[in-house]
A = this chain, B = another copy of it.
Amino acid sequence: MTIHRASISDLAAQLNLSVSTVSRALSNNSRISEATKQRVWELARQLHYQPNHLAAALRKGRSNTIGVVIPHIDGQFFALVVKGIETLANQAGFNVMICQSNENVAQEQKNIEALLNAQVDGILVSLSLSTHDFQHLEEVRRRGIPLVFFDRIMESEQVSAVVLDDYQGGYDAVCHLLEQGCQQIAHLGGPQHLNICKNRYQGYVNALRKYGQAVNPDLIHFSDLSMQDGRDGMAMLLKKVPHLDGVFACNDLALVGAMQMVKRQGLRIPQDVALAGFSNELFDSLTEPMLTSVDQRCEEMGRTAVELLLEMITAGKHPVTPRHVVLQPTLLIRGSSQRVPAGSIAV
């Protein structure tokens, strides 16, 4: 019925107080007497008073909203990161606005613009596959809006970021494959302008070196890492090197595609070909055999990104020196790579 929401001035009128007194009472200001506060609170309760955040935001120059731009929400990884982001942000009294770039720079630019227009207090970004140009992100910094990258970052000392130690993850996974006796390990890699793909690839390379194996270009295939890319890539690799006996993929989607192709060729997993991937997707435990994968501490990444952002937001104008946080990955060893019974725990 009451289509009109009670505002501070309604309260003030009914209580014969000034608007400012009511405002202060509501924010529990110490200069207001206890008696007055009680009267205000009581009436506020009765009238279902709810503060208008837009007005407050306008006045304070802060919207208490943070924006998030991610490549896509489907799949375990970003969903969990977002959960982490939301949890911490909400705790801190911030709303979260999520946008998907669909791996498309143009959309990413639009997302950023929309967030800026909505006057968000800060922005978290994980880059799209197709982002080579960073002007829209520079613009954010130029305007003095706090900005933190996570996972897929713009590599720069100037700006804060939270990443996984992708190098270590790749290194661990490949070392594990080597320890299982693999001699010809292939790599399904992603776009090399993305830090995560580049670093996982580096991990692969260095693990091989460490074990005294040469890096064979015929065993390496780069793509955008869709499931289809995984299938196709695997087919090509097997054509070039029929006796390859291990695969490290830059993500699990490509890995599962590769697995399908390996099976189709009648090869056994892990006896003939051992597999390891990255991301610890939900489906990893549902395939046969289950897929070995590097866990990315998704929620923690989300929470940490929010922490960095809040630091910057509360710091206000006083510039905070950019921070880089690196999280340590965990290799989850499962059936797709486990040849010799070992002490590792299958999940």
- Report A's interface with B, CB cutoff 8 A: 1-3, 5, 50-55, 57-58, 63, 65, 72-76, 79-80, 82-83, 86, 90, 95-100, 110, 114, 116-119, 142-144, 256, 282-283, 286-288, 317
Contact = CB atoms under 8 A, between A and B. Distances in A.
A79 B2 CA distance: 36
A54 B57 contact: yes
Contacts of A118: 53-54, 65, 95
A95 B83 contact: no
Nearest to A67: B95
A224 to B, nearest CB: 17
B98 A98 contact: yes
Stoichiometry, as copies per complex, reads: 2
Contacts of A114: 90, 95
Contact of A79 (B79, B90, B119): B79
Contacts of A288: 287-288
Given A58-B58, A98-B96, A256-B286, A73 B63 contact: no
A243 B100 CA distance: 47
29 contacts: A1-B142, A3-B317, A50-B116, A50-B117, A51-B117, A52-B58, A52-B119, A54-B54, A54-B63, A54-B119, A58-B58, A65-B118, A72-B83, A73-B73, A73-B82, A74-B76, A74-B79, A79-B79, A90-B114, A95-B97, A96-B97, A96-B98, A97-B97, A98-B98, A283-B283, A286-B286, A286-B287, A287-B287, A288-B288
Given A73-B83, A74-B282, 15 more contacts: A5-B143, A50-B116, A54-B57, A54-B118, A54-B119, A65-B97, A65-B118, A74-B76, A74-B83, A90-B110, A95-B97, A96-B97, A256-B286, A283-B283, A286-B286
A346 to B, nearest CB: 14
A226 to B, nearest CB: 12
A53 B65 CA distance: 13
A203 B27 CA distance: 54
A147 to B, nearest CB: 15
A72 B16 CA distance: 46
A54 B58 contact: yes
